[in-house]
Amino acid sequence: MYEKYIPLHQVHIGKTCIIKELKATGSQRRRLLDLGFTQDTPITVIRRSPLGDPTAYLIKKSIIALRQEEASKILVEIIRN
């Protein structure tokens, strides 16, 4: 049903995944948690900017843009259809 854990920034556009772990610490971790990036939350990759950074994600009916540096600290499992 799931693939291995990968960083969020490696998920392809249009794919949905489940957040499994946050590697961020301090204020960065608090910000991600406040934005809804909590364990077992589904997230969908919407689009990337023309240069590839930042990327827009759909999470809890909100679109949130994260830079690759932040997204690399979120580990996810991709949901297979």
**What's 23's domain CATH number?**
2.30.30.90
Q: What is the pLDDT of residue 81?
A: 58
Distance from C-alpha of 74 to C-alpha of 45, rounded to nearest angstrom? 13
Q: What is the pLDDT of residue 44?
A: 95
Distance from C-alpha of 7 to C-alpha of 5, rounded to nearest angstrom? 7
Domain that holds residue 48: 2-79
pTM for the predicted model, two decimal places: 0.86
Render each residue's pLDDT in the chain as its tens digit; 81 residues.
Answer: 444 799 999 999 999 999 999 999 999 999 999 999 999 999 999 999 998 889 999 999 999 999 999 999 999 999 875
Number of domains in the chain: 1
Distance from C-alpha of 64 to C-alpha of 67, rounded to nearest angstrom? 10
